[in-house]
Amino acid sequence: METDPTRMCEMLVDLLDVNVLGVESRHREFVTVHFECRRVVVGCPECGVLAQVKDRRRIELVDLPMNGRPTRVVWHIRRFFCPDELCPTGSWSEVDTRSGFARLLITDRAGRWLTRQIGENGRSVQEIANELGCDWHTVNDTLLRYGEALVDDDPTRVGLVEALGLDEVLFVREGEYHRQCFSTQIVDVECGQLLDVVPGRSGAAPTQWLLAQGEQWLAHVRYATLDLSGPYRSVFNKTVPRATQVADPFHVIKLANLKLDECRRRVQNELFGHRGRKHDPLYRTRLLLTKADERLSDNGREKLMGLLNAGDPKGEVLATWRAKELVRGLYDHHDPDLALEFVQRLGNDLQESELPEEARSLGRTLLRWKNQIAAWHEAHVSNGPTEAVNNLIKRVKRVAFGFRSFRNYRIRALLYAGKPNWSLLADITPR
Ligand SMILES: [Zn+2]
How far, in Å, from the CA of 60 to the mean position of ligand 1? 30
Alpha-carbon dihedral sign for residues 109, 112, 118, 124: positive
What pTM value is reported for the model?
0.84
CA 90 to ligand 1 centroid distance, Å = 8
CA of 87 from ligand 1 middle (Å) equals 5
* Nearest by Cα to 289 from 310, 266, 314, 319: 319
> What residue numbers bound the domain in which 347 lies?
249-379
Ligand 1 centroid – CA 83 distance (Å): 7
Cα of 53 vs centre of ligand 1, distance in Å, is 13
Query: How far, in Å, from the CA of 85 to the mean position of ligand 1?
Result: 8
Lowest mean pLDDT across 5-19, 166-180, 200-214, 328-342: 166-180
Same domain, 295 and 387: no
Per-residue pLDDT tens digits for 133-147:
999 999 999 999 999
Closest C-alpha to 145, from 157, 137, 134: 137
Q: How many domains does the chain have?
A: 3
Do 230 and 305 share a structural domain? no
**What's the pLDDT band for 262 if we cut at 50, 70, 90?**
very high
Regarding whether 350 and 284 lie in a shared domain, the answer is yes
Spatial neighbors of 67 by CB under 8 A, at least 6 apart, are 31
What backbone phi and psi angles, to 5 degrees, belong to 54? Answer: -85, -55
- For residue 66, give every residue at least 6 positions away whose Cβ sits within 8 Å of its Cβ, in sequence order, or none: 13, 31, 33
Please name every residue paired with 170 in a beta bridge, in sequence order, or none if there are none: 182
User: What is the distance in A from the centroid of ligand 1 to the CA of 81?
Assistant: 8
| 327 shares its domain with 408 | no
Q: Is residue 146 part of a domain?
A: no
Looking at the structure, do residues 360 and 272 belong to the same domain, yes or no?
A: yes
- Give the residue with greater pLDDT, 271 vs 418: 418
8-12, 75-79, 93-97, 173-177, range with the lowest pLDDT: 173-177
Instruction: Give me ligand 1 centre to Cα 84, in Å.
Output: 6
Do 242 and 348 fall within a single domain? Answer: no
How far is Cα 24 from Cα 36, in angstroms, rounded to an integer? 15
Question: For residue 111, what pLDDT is reported?
Answer: 96
- Per-chain mean pLDDT for the chain: 89
Examine residue 155 and state whether it is found in any structural domain, yes or no.
Answer: no
Start-to-end CA distance of the chain, whole Å, equals: 40
Distance 49 CA to ligand 1 centre (A): 6
List, in sequence order, every beta strand (DSSP E) within 175-295. 179-188, 193-199, 223-226, 244-247
Domain co-membership, 239 together with 253? no
Last residue of one domain, picked from the residues 75, 100, 125: 100
Looking at the fold, whether 275 and 346 belong to one and the same domain comes out as yes
My answer on whether 243 and 256 are in the same domain is no
> In this structure, is residue 217 part of a structural domain?
yes
- pLDDT score, position 135: 94
Q: Is residue 153 part of a domain?
A: no
pLDDT at 323: 93
Give the whole-angstrom CA distance, residue 267 versus residue 359: 13
Residue at which a domain ends, from 100, 121, 148? 100
What pLDDT, on the 0 to 100 scale, is given for residue 384? 61
Distance 92 CA to ligand 1 centre (A): 11
Domain-located, residue 147? no
Say whether both 96 and 42 belong to one domain: yes
pLDDT over 90 (residue 305):
no
Name the pLDDT band for 385 (thresholds 50, 70, 90). Answer: low
> Looking at residue 206, which CATH number applies to its domain?
3.30.420.10
CA of 35 to the centre of ligand 1 (A): 27
393 & 289 share domain: no
